[in-house]
Amino acid sequence: MSDVVVVRDLKKTFRKPFSGKKVDAVRGVSFEVASGEVFGFLGPNGAGKTTCIKMLTGLIFPTGGSAMIFGQEVPSPRAMARVGFLPENPYVYPYLTPREFVTLCARLSGVESKGMQARVEKTLARTGITDAIDRPVRALSKGMGQRVGLAAALVHDPDLLILDEPMSGLDPVGRKDVRDLILEERARGKTVFFSTHILNDVETLCDRVCILRKGAVVVAGKLSELLKSESARTEIAFAQASDEAKKALEAAGFQGKTMGDAFVVEAEGHEAMRKVLDVAHASGALVTSVTPKRETLEELFVRQAL
């Protein structure tokens, strides 16, 4: 796969008003986004994610370093013609309807007039705005406004989607719709770059991630490689664990806990796992599951970004 986005040593320094003090918002960020993948851009508040996205899209200029999209140095009108962008707080003209606003965005993006209205309606249907297509945007909820902004980013069928907090303001159904849409775009060979605080979505959707902290990259790579495999730690659940079985496990050095109808014991290492199973078998406890544990993205995020 070729790289759609290449960022090298990107920097951005702001000056505070009045005092003129320098603030290094982005400090030497480097990463690549490959064609056809879903790339998660993560970090705590103030890590520099939105600043990086603004530099990628040409809204602000970098202090140092470089960024390229489709082989073109940013900012590049030619490259941006192939990009769909949803900012963190999209501004949708409140006096226009979703149909009018997305049609305007289609015209600005160079979509041909022939078949434009059919494309606009199809895109709005994909983002769930069909029932409100001719209502003024000012009468819509925040979540519906977010859907309109997403439709505006999609209407010209971009090869790269850059989404800054795309699930913001959406209910669980809306979040599922956006997740499904991202997967659809990847299935069509499109590239998706998105920033979010919803780590479950990232773990579900993304091929690779990049985590920022204080304007610098602290970890980047494939999720399958970044999340530690903790196969040496095993969770063993029992459906039937008598008091005698629990005492036997405690006597063997294993402390368990009751979770719903199950009694759960964690074992460190393969020998400990076998010992728990031997004790359980000898005491007549019914084992319902033996689950190797793996580090979650949330654990990785807390470990690296905070």
For the stretch 103-122, pLDDT in tens is 999 999 999 889 899 999 99
What is the tens place of the pLDDT at every residue in 249-273?
Answer: 788 888 777 777 778 888 877 788 8
- The token pair at 245 is 């079985």
Question: Which candidate, 267, 260, 259, 263, places its Cα nearest to that of 292?
Answer: 267
Residue 233 β-bridge partners: 268
Q: Where in the chain is the domain with CATH 3.30.70?
A: 230-293
The one-letter code for the residue type at 58 is: G
- The token pair at 3 is 């790289």
CA dist., res. 238 & res. 251, Å (int): 17
Longest dimension (CA), the chain: 78
E strand intervals along 80-180? 83-86, 160-164
What pLDDT is stored for residue 240 in this prediction?
A: 67
pLDDT-based confidence at residue 305 (cuts at 50, 70, 90):
low
> DSSP letter at 188?
T
**How do beta strands 208-213 and 38-42 pair?**
parallel
Q: Where in the chain is the domain with CATH 3.40.50.300?
A: 3-226
Distance of CA 215 to the CA centre of its chain: 18
CA dist., res. 56 & res. 248, Å (int): 60
What is the tens place of the pLDDT at every residue in 228-237?
Answer: 655 567 888 8
DSSP-assigned letters across all residues of 23-90:
EEEEEEEEEEEETT-EEEEE-STTSSHHHHHHHHTTSS--SEEEEEETTEESS-HHHHTTEEEE-SS-
Query: 230-293: what fold?
Result: Alpha-Beta Plaits (3.30.70)
Residue bearing the bigger pLDDT, 188 or 170: 188
pLDDT-based confidence at residue 274 (cuts at 50, 70, 90):
confident
Would you call 171 helix, strand, or coil by DSSP?
Answer: coil
Domain 3-226's class?
A: alpha beta
The one-letter code for the residue type at 207 is: D
CA dist., res. 34 & res. 30, Å (int): 14
- The token pair at 234 is 């095993």
**How do beta strands 229-240 and 262-268 pair?**
antiparallel
pTM of the complete model beyond 0.75: yes
